[in-house]
């Protein structure tokens, strides 16, 4: 069985890095090597540097100092920066690639727990609503 390998490299929509390259600093697509979440929104820098970022603290209002930023950058590089690789979004139920994103206030009402942290296309979400018109917790 032969597998066709995609040779065209994707480009990061935010910083322009090609697949296999490192993101530019501050890119919203960069992954934190410590937690695996979006680097610009995780709190690993504060946790790893032992900085109190509770509401009202200096760091809460100002972020990292220049010296702290340098230490954080060194920690990231020592751990290993994660190069850009395009990872497709896939509906966990039907397998549709790149489903359109949508917002809802009743996700936990209709979507069963094993799927709540997954991506669903709108069609599969609507299927959950049809299966559980009163919510999945109210099935008798």
Q: According to the model, what pLDDT value does residue 140 have?
A: 84
Q: Which of 55, 70, 87 is the last residue of a domain?
A: 87
Q: Are residues 72 and 123 in the same domain?
A: no
Looking at the fold, whether 15 and 56 belong to one and the same domain comes out as yes
Conformational region of residue 2, where left means phi above 0, alpha means psi within -120 to 50, and beta covers everything else? beta
Considering the domain architecture, whether residues 51 and 101 belong to the same structural domain is answered as no
pTM of the model: 0.70
Inter-CA distances, 94 with 20, 86, 99, 122, 125, Å? 29, 20, 10, 11, 11
Q: Are residues 54 and 95 in the same domain?
A: no
* Domain contains 22: yes
User: In terms of domains, do 26 and 69 share one?
Assistant: yes
By three-state DSSP, how is residue 110 classified?
helix
Cross-strand bridge partners of residue 31:
38
Q: Domain range holding 42? A: 7-87
Answer for the pair 48, 75: CB distance below 8 angstroms, yes or no.
yes
Asked whether residue 100 falls in the same domain as residue 119, the answer is yes
Please check whether residue 136 is in contact with residue 112, taking contact to mean a CB–CB distance below 8 angstroms: yes
State whether 74 and 93 are in the same domain: no
The answer to whether residues 61 and 121 belong to one domain is: no
Domain count, the chain: 2
Q: Does residue 82 share a domain with residue 66?
A: yes
At 53 the pLDDT is 92
Q: For tokens 């917790």, what's the residue?
A: 137
Backbone angles phi, psi at 88, to 5 degrees: -70, 145
* 67 and 114 share one domain: no
**What pLDDT tens digit does each residue of the chain (140 aa) get?**
556 666 789 999 999 999 999 999 899 999 999 999 999 999 999 999 999 999 999 999 999 999 999 999 999 999 999 999 998 999 999 999 999 999 999 999 999 999 999 999 999 999 999 999 999 999 98
Q: Cα separation of 54 and 60, whole Å? A: 6
Residue 41, in any domain of the structure: yes
The verdict on residue 2 lying in a domain is no
Taking Cα atoms as reference points, which of 25, 88, 24, 120 lies closest to residue 129?
120
Residue 127, both tokens: 């299927």
């Amino acid at each position: 069985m032969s597998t066709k390998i995609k040779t065209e490299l994707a480009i990061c929509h935010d910083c322009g890095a090609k697949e296999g390259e490192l993101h530019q600093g501050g890119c919203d697509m960069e992954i934190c090597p410590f937690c695996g979440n979006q680097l610009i929104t995780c709190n690993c820098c504060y946790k790893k540097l032992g900085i109190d970022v509770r509401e009202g603290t200096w760091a809460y209002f100002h972020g990292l100092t220049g010296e702290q930023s340098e230490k954080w950058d060194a920690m990231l590089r020592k751990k290993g920066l994660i190069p850009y690789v395009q990872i497709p979004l896939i509906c966990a139920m039907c397998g549709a690639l790149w489903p359109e994103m949508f917002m809802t206030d009743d996700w936990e009402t209709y979507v069963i727990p094993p799927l709540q942290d997954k991506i669903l296309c709108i069609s599969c979400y609507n299927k959950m609503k049809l299966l559980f018109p009163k919510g999945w917790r109210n099935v008798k």
